[in-house]
Amino acid sequence: MLFISPTRFKVGFMASMASAFLLMACAPAHQKDHRATPESAHGRTLKPLVKSQKAMISVANPLAAQAGYKILRAGGTAIDAAITAQMVLNLVEPQSSGIGGGGFLLVYDPHTKKIISYDGRETAPKKVTPSLFLKENGEKMAFFEATVGGRAVGIPGLLKMLQLAHQDYGRLDWSLLFEDGAQLAEKGFPVSPRLHHLLKKDRFLKKDPIAKAYFYNKSAQPHPVGHLLKNPAFAQSLRQIQSGGVDSFYFGQLADKIVDKVTSHPTNPGLLSHGDLMSYKAIKRAPVCLDYRSYHICGMAPPSSGGLSVLQTLGLMEKYDLNNDPKPLIDRTHLFLEASKLAFSDRNHFIADPDFVKVPTDELLASNYLIGRQTLIQHNQTLKTPVPAGGPLLYRQAFAPDNTEHGLSTTHMSIVDSQGMVVSMTTSIENAFGARQMVGGFLLNNQLTDFSFLPEKNGVKIANRVEPLKRPRSSMAPTIVLDQETKRPVLTIGSPGGSRIIGYVAQSLIAVLDEKKPLDQAIAQGHMTNRNGATELEKGTEAAHNRAQLEALGHQVKLKDMTSGLHAIQILQDGRLAGAADPRREGVVLGY
């Protein structure tokens, strides 16, 4: 086994990254990120593009970036680095993702030049029924009524997914990949500004005595920014998985603790059992792909709607010349929002777990179909929402639409290793701090709230209704773009942000691939989304300046904070790498 001693591993700029983070964590708000350039073209603080020759990681926290970087330097693959960075993220960004949750992973294999995807989505316990989120009077529960406690906890899939990917693409010993997370949990890490902020805002976490004792001080205040937080329980969990493998999570003492926590919640218990944990399987799936201009773009297949909906949005935009056309900005904006609307109408209607529902994936991406849908878009007027779904009639009649909203946690990382392997991975515990249930030093997910709370509408079943052992529909959209001709990867990208992920990723792809914007600017640009309802523009950015003109076209406009967390790497023509991290979160890029 290769073991890298943290003391032996010294890279000057990484040490300075760590101190930069500590400084950042302690600095007053106005001088928070002194590594960033003062401003971008539209006033948002950009994190400058990072360039390197061989390998790179872009991830939501500097300590996770360091850990992943270290593995890449030691000859680990992009999968090895992803596992390592994920374990650190679980510790330092506990609100977003972890072994109590799930995720999706895409990998580009440089030998076969193929993209493979892994589904580690949480799964509903065997004992659930379609009325899981209905009150006694038949109405649906309020979101937090369902979320807080054991009810919405799905069978965690992250570890099984990482294990499967590691069997296929790992090079370093499994146990090594848990070392940094375990050591950091033992020694402590500085509470980041974002973690502090979210702890302050949260109304439910304190109700769990274990979470309260860990995240808050004796006066029930969140630990301050920069506070060195130790998590011996998490260190112990990682040490168990290190030595006993993934089985120690799904079969051992950790399984006992998880089942007990979920089923013995005093007011909102859940139905997770030992049998559920033991039988969980991560799934290798074919990705969904579309040829778009000179590119071949692949994303996550159902149960995520991320891939299909990003690709539909792009497919609907393909007719427009977005590169050379002197089209006014407002026209492009309007067209993009209309395309998003149409993509969401199909998403809400058709997409669910494909092992339970036949999703017409090929039909929805067929070029004839997209050309037909595209004719609905008009330049001078907006489509009235909700736009009804298209798709094959037989399928359409089988289901009613579902507009289930998503929460605001989740995290995305992009990695390229020195052998040309590319990873795009989005992981989640759903809402920030998940179900607000802490066990073994980590938080349990509330991913089952991604199901439709209502099983049917007007007597017609909803495709994404709760069913035993089914996976809830997701919006996560890890994406890898290849050059169509050479099959060479050119971009890896993804983001958190609930169902807005689809818009964040689609908009960034257009900015990079069509408008040829530098990656840092592409992901920092003001967001705009339409999820088959109101048009949302990101508050305080140049996107909000379009408000009056969009309203004149008939859009119902809302200004919103839109906290994406886009982390992306471009593989340039000459093989060099250019990486960017979203200025809206705490991520960084490291490479060599």
Which of 409/508 has CB closer to ligand GLU? 409
Reference 140, options 126, 130, 153; nearest CA is 130
Q: Is 121 among the annotated ligand-binding positions?
A: yes
C-alpha 117/C-alpha 126 separation (Å) is 25
Which of 77/123 has CB closer to ligand GLU? 123
- Decide if 308 contacts 351 (C-beta within 8 A): yes
Q: Is 5 among the annotated ligand-binding positions?
A: no
Closest contact distance (angstroms) between CB of 88 and ligand GLU is: 19
Closest contact distance (angstroms) between CB of 431 and ligand GLU is: 7
Q: Which residues, in sequence order, are bridge partners of residue 411?
A: 427
C-alpha 207/C-alpha 28 separation (Å) is 30
Q: Is 474 among the annotated ligand-binding positions?
A: yes
- Decide if 50 contacts 580 (C-beta within 8 A): yes
Reference 505, options 366, 341, 309, 330; nearest CA is 309
Which of 409/541 has CB closer to ligand GLU? 409
Closest contact distance (angstroms) between CB of 83 and ligand GLU is: 20
361 assigned to active site:
no
C-alpha 484/C-alpha 491 separation (Å) is 12
Residues lying near ligand GLU in the complex (CB under 6 A): 406-410, 428, 430, 447, 450, 474-476, 496-498, 501
Closest contact distance (angstroms) between CB of 428 and ligand GLU is: 5
| 77 Cβ neighbours under 8 A, 6+ residues apart | 169, 170, 171, 172, 417, 419, 421
Which of 455/498 has CB closer to ligand GLU? 498
Closest contact distance (angstroms) between CB of 323 and ligand GLU is: 30
Q: Is 304 among the annotated ligand-binding positions?
A: no
DSSP string, 454-515: SSEETTEEBTTB--TTPPPPB----EEEEETTT--EEEEE---SGGGHHHHHHHHHIIIIIS
Closest contact distance (angstroms) between CB of 302 and ligand GLU is: 12
**Catalytic site residue from 333, 410, 529, 535:** 410
Strands, DSSP E only, in 167-212?
Answer: 189-190
Reference 431, options 189, 153, 197; nearest CA is 153
- Decide if 446 contacts 340 (C-beta within 8 A): no
Q: Which amino acid is at 419?
A: Q
Residue 556: CB atoms within 10 A of its CB come to 13
Q: Which residues, in sequence order, are bridge partners of residue 461?
A: 456
Classify 111 as helix, strand or coil: coil
Classify 395 as helix, strand or coil: helix
Closest contact distance (angstroms) between CB of 282 and ligand GLU is: 16
Which of 58/66 has CB closer to ligand GLU? 58
Residue 216: CB atoms within 10 A of its CB come to 17
C-alpha 441/C-alpha 78 separation (Å) is 26
Which of 57/501 has CB closer to ligand GLU? 501
DSSP state of 121: -
In the annotated binding site for L-glutamate, the residues are: 121, 450, 474-475, 498
In the annotated binding site, the residues are: 121, 450, 474-475, 498
Catalytic residues: 410
